[in-house]
């Protein structure tokens, strides 16, 4: 089967031919290059209008037949998507072949899975307008973590425009960073999510204050890529996955690859990055995923092929997947390797030691480990005083970044989610978070691994543990982020996350602030993929 793919989400007008028999992928692209500044939607659409017919014609010259047409249906810029979609429809009709609409971000994830041969990896997508971590479960790719404001590529481009550099900014930052030294910039990770707007603003201000651009570029890379790597590791820990793939144009950066490679090697995880031609926006990944969809029989009628500028990857029923769940790696009962720490269980005591991370700059790593262990001890004790079941803090060692607490519970919450007691336990977490938020405390990372359940005689409590990303605030946005993180965790670990989320929110509504749930809806509806 030969599938012609058409990509037109923003920058790249691209066409490709994928031959499923030989495995060959031929890609022809014509990228929009602005004279100055960033992307101009009108100019990008004009470029797409001229370039799409040309690249499609060049690909058609290479083949005698086409069996299907696939196109990028979204997310992306509406005017560009419509031009690519119109070309795909016209071509499918003229050739009388099936038409397939492909989610652009799933194509980034699937090309890594396709080229690596992995069964069901965790996928880190790092591209211009997007940054998120995906894992397959229950027939869909679930978004385990994502940017709460701007994509990583756009964040880097905003900085380079500030210093007067032309697009694309990422490669220029990478070159300048080779001669830079580390300076402190904001580091924002909330549970499984991250934010780049604050660090971009701080980097601009640091330049305006007279710091060398090489130092700021070095620190910008070190900080933003450490954030991405930490969240990827958090997703691997949550899912116990043994495979990670990287996708998106920023994945071409050698420093990001090195960080992820070091992290995966330390965890015993297989890591794969596809060739550069499959990382930047390209029609090859559209054609490859399109072929899988055609084989699954999930083609669309021309009348139903409208594009979607805000098309999220978790909106797509994955009909083409072999339904292989994420490969899991089990740990010894007395040693648990989380994303940030190794937890050793010694009788009634638990020692949590935050390990140095070789992928992080030493100064950044030392700061994060020290700050997090001290804050975690304080938050754990304060939450306990508010009536939320938490471990009793036994000792805090700032030199070793080690916290010793009592052992609580019989199992992680994720182990009982799909049992009869799962709903009640989820409701208990909702009540605990409402209590914390009422006291001005944010947990920061309320995943199904950071709640423990007890079923011993006389003790049926649900505990909250690991306040390492928590903080004190009355900000409704941060409280809503706690709910968002927990629901994303449910989506990644439960068989029926939708009903559990309903029970979770119903319980929070009874005990918590309605403004928090309203803000949760706003968080979910943000147009980060446009």
Note whether 259 and 289 are same-domain residues. Answer: no
Note whether 106 and 121 are same-domain residues. Answer: no
Task: Please tell me what DSSP assigns to residue 24.
Answer: -
At 347 the pLDDT is 87
Structural domain of residue 404, as residue ranges?
335-524
Note whether 132 and 72 are same-domain residues. Answer: no
pLDDT at 39 over 90: no
Burial class (CB in 10 A: 0-12, 13-18, 19+), 393: middle
Does 325 fall in a domain?
no
Q: Which helix (H) or strand (E) element contains residue 441?
A: strand 441-442
Does 235 fall in a domain?
yes
CA atoms within 13 A on the CB side of 77: 21
pLDDT range class, residue 300, cuts 50, 70, 90: confident
pLDDT at 204 over 50: yes
Does 137 fall in a domain?
yes
> Which positions are annotated as active-site residues?
445
Q: What is the arithmetic mean of pLDDT over 290-315?
A: 90
Does 328 fall in a domain?
no
- Which region among 13-17, 287-291, 368-372 has the lowest average model confidence (pLDDT)? 368-372
pLDDT range class, residue 11, cuts 50, 70, 90: confident
Q: In what order do the strands lie in the sheet containing 402-406?
A: 335-337, 341-346, 349-354, 402-406, 393-397
Note whether 388 and 426 are same-domain residues. Answer: yes
- Kindly report the CA angle at 395 between 389 and 399, in degrees rounded to 5? 130
pLDDT at 526 over 60: no
pLDDT range class, residue 335, cuts 50, 70, 90: low
Q: How far is CA 416 from CA 11, 67, 129, in A?
A: 46, 47, 37
Note whether 303 and 411 are same-domain residues. Answer: no
pLDDT range class, residue 337, cuts 50, 70, 90: low
- Reading the block at residue 187, the tokens are 């580091």
pLDDT at 232 over 80: yes
What CATH number does residue 374 fall under? 1.10.510.10
Note whether 265 and 180 are same-domain residues. Answer: yes
State residue 224 phi and psi, 5-degree precision: -65, -40
pLDDT range class, residue 285, cuts 50, 70, 90: very high
The number of distinct structural domains making up the chain is 3
At 528 the pLDDT is 43
Q: Which helix (H) or strand (E) element contains residue 522?
A: helix 514-524
Q: What is the arithmetic mean of pLDDT over 279-296?
A: 96
Does 320 fall in a domain?
no
Does 186 fall in a domain?
yes
Return the exposure string of 432-470: e unless at least 16 CB atoms fall within 10 Å of the residue's CB, then b: bbbbbbeeebbbbbbbbbbbbbbeeeeeebbbbbbbbbb
At 299 the pLDDT is 87
- Is residue 102 a contact partner of residue 71, using CB atoms and an 8 Å limit? yes
pLDDT at 530 over 50: no
pLDDT at 119 over 80: yes
Contacts of 467 (CB under 8 A, 6+ apart): 375, 376, 379, 380, 383, 390, 443, 444, 445
At 490 the pLDDT is 94
Q: What is the arithmetic mean of pLDDT over 333-356?
A: 81
Share of the chain above pLDDT 70, in %: 95
Q: Which of the pair, 277 or 301, is modelled with greater confidence?
A: 277
Note whether 182 and 223 are same-domain residues. Answer: yes
Phi-psi bin for 241: left (phi > 0), alpha (psi -120 to 50), beta? beta
**Average pLDDT of the chain?**
92
What CATH number does residue 80 fall under? 3.30.420.40
pLDDT at 527 over 60: no
Q: What is the arithmetic mean of pLDDT over 477-483?
A: 93
At 323 the pLDDT is 56
Q: For residue range 379-427, what is the model confidence (pLDDT) as tens digits?
A: 999 999 999 999 999 999 999 999 999 999 999 999 999 999 999 999 9
Note whether 388 and 266 are same-domain residues. Answer: no
At 193 the pLDDT is 87
- Kindly report the CA angle at 489 between 486 and 493, in degrees rounded to 5? 140
- Kindly report the CA angle at 135 between 134 and 138, in degrees rounded to 5? 130
Q: SS3 for 235? A: helix
Q: For residue range 241-265, what is the model confidence (pLDDT) as tens digits?
A: 999 999 999 999 999 999 999 999 9
Q: 287, 315, 343: which is the final residue of a domain?
A: 315
Q: For residue range 359-392, what is the model confidence (pLDDT) as tens digits?
A: 999 999 999 999 999 999 999 999 999 999 999 9
Does 242 fall in a domain?
yes
Beta carbons within 10 angstroms of residue 1's beta carbon = 13
At 419 the pLDDT is 92
At 53 the pLDDT is 96
Note whether 416 and 504 are same-domain residues. Answer: yes
Does 407 fall in a domain?
yes
Q: What is the arithmetic mean of pLDDT over 70-79?
A: 95
Q: For residue range 156-191, what is the model confidence (pLDDT) as tens digits?
A: 999 999 999 988 899 999 999 999 999 999 999 987
At 237 the pLDDT is 87
Note whether 340 and 431 are same-domain residues. Answer: yes
pLDDT at 511 over 50: yes
pLDDT range class, residue 324, cuts 50, 70, 90: low
At 174 the pLDDT is 97
Phi-psi bin for 513: left (phi > 0), alpha (psi -120 to 50), beta? beta
pLDDT at 216 over 90: yes
């Amino acid at each position: 089967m030969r599938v012609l793919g058409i990509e037109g989400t923003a920058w790249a007008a691209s066409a490709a031919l994928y031959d499923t028999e030989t495995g060959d992928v031929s890609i022809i692209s014509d990228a929009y290059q602005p004279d100055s500044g960033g992307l101009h939607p009108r100019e990008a659409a004009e470029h797409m209008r001229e370039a799409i017919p040309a690249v499609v014609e060049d690909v058609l010259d290479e083949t005698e037949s086409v069996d299907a047409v696939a196109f990028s249906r979204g997310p992306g810029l509406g005017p560009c998507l419509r031009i690519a979609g119109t070309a795909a429809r016209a071509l499918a009709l003229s050739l009388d072949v099936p038409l397939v609409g492909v989610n652009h971000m799933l194509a980034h994830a699937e090309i890594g899975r396709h080229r690596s041969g992995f069964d069901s990896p965790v996928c880190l997508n790092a591209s211009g307008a997007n940054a998120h971590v995906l894992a397959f479960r229950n027939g869909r790719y679930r978004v385990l973590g994502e940017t709460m404001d701007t994509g990583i590529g756009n964040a880097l481009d905003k900085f380079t425009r500030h210093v007067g550099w032309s697009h694309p900014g990422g490669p220029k930052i990478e070159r300048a960073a080779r001669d830079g030294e580390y300076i402190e910039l904001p580091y924002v990770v909330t549970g499984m999510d991250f934010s780049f707007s604050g660090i971009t603003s701080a980097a601009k201000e640091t330049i305006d204050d007279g710091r060398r651009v090489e130092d700021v570029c070095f620190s910008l890379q070190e900080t933003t890529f450490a954030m991405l790597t930490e969240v990827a590791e958090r997703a691997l820990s949550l899912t116990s996955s043994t495979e990670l793939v990287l996708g998106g144009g920023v994945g071409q950066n050698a420093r990001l690859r090195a960080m992820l490679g070091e992290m995966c090697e330390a965890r015993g995880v297989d890591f794969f990055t596809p060739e550069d031609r499959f990382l930047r926006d390209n029609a090859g990944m559209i054609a490859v995923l399109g072929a899988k969809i055609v084989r699954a029989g999930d083609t669309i009628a021309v009348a139903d092929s409208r594009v979607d500028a805000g098309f999220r990857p978790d909106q797509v029923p994955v009909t083409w997947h072999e339904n292989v769940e994420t490969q899991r790696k089990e740990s010894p009962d007395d040693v648990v390797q989380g994303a940030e720490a190794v937890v050793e269980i010694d009788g009634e005591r638990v020692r949590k030691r935050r390990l140095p991370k070789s992928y992080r700059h030493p100064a950044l790593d030392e700061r994060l480990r020290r700050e997090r262990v001290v804050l975690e001890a304080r938050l754990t004790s304060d939450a306990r005083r508010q009536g939320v079941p938490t471990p009793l803090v036994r000792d805090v060692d700032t030199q070793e970044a080690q916290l010793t607490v009592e052992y609580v519970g019989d199992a992680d919450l994720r182990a009982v989610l799909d049992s009869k007691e799962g709903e009640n336990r989820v409701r208990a977490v909702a009540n605990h978070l409402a209590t914390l938020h009422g006291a001005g405390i944010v947990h920061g990372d309320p995943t199904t691994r950071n709640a423990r359940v007890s079923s011993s005689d006389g003790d049926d409590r649900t505990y909250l543990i690991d306040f390492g990303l928590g903080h004190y605030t009355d900000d409704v946005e941060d409280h809503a982020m706690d709910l968002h993180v927990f629901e994303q965790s449910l989506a990644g670990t439960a068989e029926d996350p939708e009903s559990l989320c309903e029970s979770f929110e119903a319980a929070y509504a009874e005990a918590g602030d309605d403004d928090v749930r309203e803000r949760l809806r706003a968080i979910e509806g943000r147009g980060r993929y446009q």
